A = this chain, B = another copy of it.
Amino acid sequence: RSMATSSRQSLKIGMIPADGIGREVLPGAKAAIQALGSSLPKTEFIDLLAGFEYFTKTGTALPQETVEVLKNECDCALFGAVSSPSRKVVGYSSPIVALRKKMDLYANIRPVSSVAPSPEEKPQVDLVVIRENTECLYVKQETQTVGENGKEARATRLITERASRRVGEMAFKTALARPRKHVTIIHKSNVLSITDGLFRETVRAVPTLPGVNGAYDSVTIAEQLVDSAVYRLFREPHIYDVMVAPNLYGDIISDAAAALVGSLGLVPSINAGDTFVMGEPVHGSAPDIAGQDIANPLAAIRSAALMLRHLGYGDGADRIENAVDEVIREGRYLTPDLGGKSKTSEVVSEVVKRI
């Protein structure tokens, strides 16, 4: 399956709401895509199962069928959010982590920007976190033994040249398409000289890869230790344009960046591979507010736009994103996380009206 738009007669989108507010925000993303009408090829939405709740009913968090339908029938997918058990549950393993690996969605791309007071002005925060999405501590190779002093648990953190290189290439490609063209490599090589050293050196070497031929000469490179990167994110967010990070640091940094723009309920992402893309809001399943029709649908809607852009439908993505920005700027229809009083469904219909 290729990512070229021209060859597509139809667009098949796997819909995986999973748990909690995941189920409440995905309908908004669907409505936004549908509002684009004939500017997209004929769209078809395929509902797919996964999640912690599904696990509690069936003993499986990610049914094989979901993966097969994604691989064989879908062009792309949208994921809602997944709950985490509050105690260790034997046999349970996060379906989103598994999906990223099984579909080889090696880069998690999370743009975080504040909405400027008017379309002419610049946003105060305008960065993209590009997170390696298949390895680091997420390989989940853990063991436990019992020694003299009690239990001892070990986890493996895997960093490979291949995964670092391809996420690095994604970072440089992304930077090249942005006005500031600046990449900051996040690592902790003062402690992890071998694993984070490999990540850092491999990403740094991307501009010198065979075939690049100076294409990234206009991109500037900086680096930051993860602890001070988080500190500076809060003190001087304007220093960042594209931040590229190993999996776990990327997880933390993207949540930190979300705090800068007012709410996790605004921050979208895509999980991108070479032949598949899956949109996913950065927020979780938020069991505390699930079922009340007050979840912010904007992150899911923006994730749909990002997914469409990645598939080559930039105009459609623009229309959705502009509609979302307008709703935020107007400030009349906002969910409680943004200080408003609107219902999820109300926000969705206001966005759809503006598309």
Residues of A participating in the B interface, judged by any CB pair closer than 8 Å: 84-85, 88, 93-94, 97, 137-138, 140, 142-144, 147, 149-162, 165, 188-195, 197-198, 201-202, 225-228, 230-231, 233-235, 248, 251-252, 254-256, 258-260, 264, 284
Contact = CB atoms under 8 A, between A and B. Distances in A.
A231 B256 contact: yes
B150 A158 contact: no
Given A152-B158, A153-B160, A161-B152, A192 B255 contact: no
A250 to B, nearest CB: 10
Nearest to A231: B255
Given A137-B188, A143-B194, A149-B162, 12 more contacts: A88-B189, A88-B193, A137-B192, A140-B192, A153-B195, A154-B158, A228-B255, A230-B230, A231-B259, A231-B264, A234-B256, A256-B256
Nearest to A254: B227
Contacts of A255: 227-228, 230-231
Nearest to A97: B191
B259 A234 contact: yes
Contacts of A233: 259
Contacts of A159: 152-155
Given A151-B160, A248-B188, A256-B256, A194 B144 contact: yes
A143 B156 CA distance: 11
Nearest to A227: B255
A64 B229 CA distance: 33
A166 to B, nearest CB: 10
A161 B151 contact: yes
Contacts of A152: 158-161
A252 B188 CA distance: 10
A226 B162 CA distance: 27
Nearest to A337: B235
24 contacts: A84-B189, A88-B201, A94-B190, A94-B191, A97-B191, A138-B191, A142-B194, A143-B194, A149-B162, A151-B160, A151-B202, A153-B158, A153-B159, A153-B197, A154-B195, A155-B159, A155-B195, A228-B255, A230-B252, A230-B256, A231-B255, A231-B256, A233-B259, A234-B256
Contacts of A137: 157, 188, 191-192
A85 B196 CA distance: 13
B149 A161 contact: yes
Contact of A258 (B195, B198, B231): B231
A154, A165, A202, A225 — most chain B CB neighbours (10 Å)? A154
A267 to B, nearest CB: 10
A94 B230 CA distance: 21
Contacts of A231: 255-256, 258-259, 264
